[in-house]
Amino acid sequence: MIIFIITLAVAIIGIWLIDHKKNEIMEGVGFLLFVCGGLVGFIMLCFIIIAHAGVDAQIEENRIVYEALCERQEVAMSEYEDVSKSDVIKDIAEWNKMVYSSKHWAYNPWTSWFYSKKVVDELEMIERREEAVQ
């Protein structure tokens, strides 16, 4: 959020410098600030829109992955030989890292607009069970 606001401020400062033509250098700097701030702001706006579009599908995909990992953990805890327990533990750890990272950045004031809180709030950590580790 703060990064996006800073880019808009840079573009506005550029417009202000263009309007107050004290000399050609200030006008050139103003134009450069306006173009850079506007371009970066537009790109960031595109990323923000992409992050908040289609969140229902993303929530459902995350739910499916979560349930599959929980089922794999149950199988790994049983006596079946067809599932590698270390692979399950690794996959669960990767899922939990992704959940933690998403929640961290979604509530960070610098980047919160780039993450959909609706999606992030639906994510759940998978608790590692000691039976699966042994």
* pLDDT, tens digit, 9 for 90 and up, residues 90-131: 888 889 889 988 988 888 888 888 888 899 999 998 886 655
pLDDT in tens, 13-65: 999 988 887 788 888 999 999 999 999 999 999 998 888 887 887 888 888 88
Whole-Å CA distances, 36 to 25, 31, 128: 16, 9, 47
Encoded tokens for 18: 């263009």
Coil, helix or strand for 45?
Answer: helix
